């Protein structure tokens, strides 16, 4: 009887381990690499740069962040060819506002956007990413999925200072990333 119990426990452990291995053996090589923001659209028109014009196209509102950004990447999916680890990690680089009211020539405020980042461990299945919880108050990723072979689409929630209302506003933002060669 004891041997039967041990055999059943052993079979259960083997079954559990083999199920666990199925999740980690998903091929991610076709999505691994570096991506750049192709488009970034807000659910509301806002004035993020203080030019008194509102838009849902955040590339025009955060223009200094995207200027001279031809070779920079905004999303990295590991493992990739630049590292030798099998660790599944997504690094998201996103514009973070640095707001100042200290300039006499700009009493309404002045903003510059810096590149900030957050990393997530992930699982990938059925063209969708499942991100593991992260201690991150920088950005909330609502969804992240494969759009096609060279593009990934994400929806995020992020707070930005809107110069039109002179207050912070939480936006739902759709980002399309294109893979860099």
At 104-124, the pLDDT tens digits run 888 788 899 999 999 999 999
Q: Which residues pair with 94 in a beta bridge?
A: 116
Which DSSP letter does residue 132 get? P
Q: What is the mean pLDDT of the chain?
A: 84
Residues forming beta bridges with residue 167, ordered by sequence position: 162
Q: What is the pTM of this model?
A: 0.80
Burial of 166 (0-12, 13-18, 19+ CB in 10 A): exposed
What's the number of CA atoms in the CB half-sphere (13 Å) around residue 35? Answer: 29
Distance (Å, whole) CA 35 – CA 146 = 12
Dihedrals φ, ψ of 83, to 5°? -140, 160
Q: Is the pLDDT of residue 26 over 70?
A: no
């Amino acid at each position: 009887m004891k041997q039967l119990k041990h055999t059943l426990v052993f079979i259960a452990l083997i079954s559990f381990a083999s199920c666990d291995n199925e999740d980690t053996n998903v091929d991610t090589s076709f999505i691994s690499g570096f991506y750049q923001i192709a488009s970034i659209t807000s659910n509301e028109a806002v004035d993020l740069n203080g030019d008194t014009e509102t838009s849902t196209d955040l590339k025009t509102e955060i223009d200094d962040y995207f200027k001279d950004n031809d070779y920079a990447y905004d999303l990295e999916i590991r493992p990739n060819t630049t590292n030798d680890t099998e660790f599944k990690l997504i690094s998201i680089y996103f514009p973070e506002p640095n707001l100042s009211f200290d300039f006499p020539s700009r009493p309404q405020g002045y903003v510059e956007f810096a590149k900030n980042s957050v990393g997530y461990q992930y699982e990938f299945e059925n063209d969708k990413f499942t991100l593991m919880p992260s201690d991150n108050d920088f950005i909330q990723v609502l969804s992240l999925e494969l759009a096609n072979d060279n593009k990934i689409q994400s929806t995020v929630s992020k707070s930005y200072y809107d110069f039109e209302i002179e207050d912070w506003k939480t936006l739902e933002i759709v980002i399309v990333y294109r893979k860099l060669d």
